Amino acid sequence: MSLLRWLGLDGGLKPETARRGETRTVREIAARLERLPDEVARYLAGFAYVLARVAHADLEIAEQEADEIRRVVHTLAALSEDEADLVVEIARSQARLLGGTENYVVTREFRRISTAEQRGQLLACLYAVAAADGVISGPESAEILAIAEELGFTRAEANSLRARYRDKLAEFQR
């Protein structure tokens, strides 16, 4: 299932649906979280996908990174463990299969539907997920900076948060 289609940005849906930002992936995750209001499920789906995007930046999602995504999603949305597992697995699958085509679109849609505070929370979580396996690789660091820009943060804002994880940055571990 395509995240672009779920967000309504795949070109195959009516223009009014595309403007709502419902890609197939986000719709799939949200549909599985039926107990949550639709806008909350969409927000959570986008949040989880962007976390998986960073974890997959080095072409591998380490189990520690998946566990951190699960913890964040479980805590953030007060989901059951099964629901958090489901969200993480769908987001991981989508990041692996469709990441190159949907990354920017999902992040842009997340920016549209979130507050500045929520975007800041996501940025902090991105570093936590990337650091979960003990090291933030160069590709993960670069992906976080790209996402930060897509979310509307300046390079200086992103770097101030990055400094908190200096000991986890691959370039400083050599």
> Could you state, in order of their start, the residue ranges of all structural domains in the chain?
3-172
pLDDT tens-digit profile of 6-60?
444 444 433 344 434 556 766 666 666 777 788 887 888 888 889 989 998 988 8
pLDDT tens-digit profile of 142-172?
999 999 999 999 999 999 988 888 888 888 7
The CA distance from 28 to 94, in Å, is: 10
> What DSSP letter does each residue of 17-61 carry, written as one string?
HHHHTEEHHHHHHHHHTTTS-HHHHHHHHHHHHHHHHHHTTTS--
Give the burial string for 121-160 (b: 16+ CB within 10 Å, else e): ebbebbbbbbbbbebbbeebbebbbbbbebbebeeeebee
Residues in a beta bridge with 61? none
Confidence of residue 99 (pLDDT cuts 50, 70, 90): low
The CA distance from 124 to 61, in Å, is: 18
Contact 108/7 with Cβ under 8 angstroms? no
